Copies of this chain bind each other. A is one copy, B any other.
Amino acid sequence: MYDGIVQDLIDEFGRLPGIGPKSAQRIAFHILQSPSFDVSRLSTLLGEIRDKVKFCEICGNVSEQERCSICRDPRRNATLICVVEDAKDVAAIERTREFRGLYHVLGGAISPIAGIGPDDLRVTQLMQRLADGTVQEVILATNPNLEGEATATYLSRLLHTLEIRVTRLASGLPVGGDLEYADEVTLGRAFEGRRTL
């Protein structure tokens, strides 16, 4: 609909997740017309991101160095590893400030439909990290959905051959949520996991 580069830019933004044609148009015009937006900075960052950002050789988290800031931090509890599907999950858990151990990013979850098996995940690397006996507990923090549960079940069986405590994050009602609007599976889990007060 537009001439040349404006349409090209709209098309490129439209290829990003969660951005439809209307949003892409709005973004392109914002970039074009808003003097306060630093377009050269965004352009530079995009040019650098794939070259500069690597994945931590230990845990698989995003990092600009060989080892990520969490694996490099001597104050983190090295006896505790939290296994997550994705680097975004590391960020989500870090925001809670509840966890002071280390992470292991699998890079996905087991999904027969998507053709992803254990060999496609960083499972071997996890087993290598556990080999020297430092780690005492592995928290399986894969997503509470079909693929995440399958992955947790698979890993839990694998880890039971080692002398390591294996735990899973609690399922239950979201804090601040409304019981009335909870789905039945979540509500069922909340009953199963009920605690004595």
Instruction: Please list the residues of chain A having a beta carbon within 8 angstroms of any beta carbon in chain B.
Output: 1-6, 8-9, 12-13, 15-19, 23, 25-32, 37-50, 52-53, 62-64, 68-69, 86-88, 91, 94-95
Supply 25 A–B pairs (Cβ within 8 Å), ascending by A: A1-B91, A2-B62, A3-B63, A5-B45, A5-B49, A5-B64, A6-B49, A6-B53, A9-B49, A13-B42, A15-B37, A16-B27, A16-B30, A17-B26, A17-B27, A17-B30, A18-B27, A25-B91, A26-B88, A31-B46, A31-B49, A32-B62, A40-B46, A43-B47, A46-B46
The answer to whether B45 and A40 have CB atoms under 8 Å apart is no
B91 pairs with A2, CB closer than 8 A:
yes
Which residues from chain B contact A49 at a C-beta distance below 8 Å? Answer: 5-6, 9, 28, 31-32, 39
Q: Are A62 and B3 in contact (CB under 8 A)?
A: yes
Give the docked Cα–Cα distance between A37 and B32 (Å).
22
Please list the 6 inter-chain residue pairs (A to B) with the smallest Cβ-Cβ separation, ordered nearest first.
A43-B46, A43-B47, A1-B91, A12-B42, A9-B45, A16-B27
Chain A's interface: helix, strand, loop or mixed, by majority? helix
Residues of chain B within 8 A (CB-CB) of A38 are: 12
What B residues does A47 contact at CB under 8 A?
39-40, 43
What is the CA–CA distance of A101 and B31 in the complex, to the nearest angstrom?
28
What B residues does A95 contact at CB under 8 A?
A: 1
Given contacts A16-B31, A40-B46, 13 further A-B contacts (CB under 8 A): A1-B91, A2-B91, A3-B64, A3-B69, A5-B45, A6-B49, A12-B45, A18-B26, A19-B19, A32-B49, A39-B47, A42-B46, A46-B46
Smallest CB separation, A120 vs chain B (Å): 14
Cβ-defined contact, B4 with A64, below 8 A: yes
A50 to B31, CA, bound (A): 8
- The interface centre, meaning the residue of A28, A42, A63, A87 with most chain B CB atoms within 10 A of its CB, is A42
Which of chain B's residues has its CB closest to A24's CB? B18
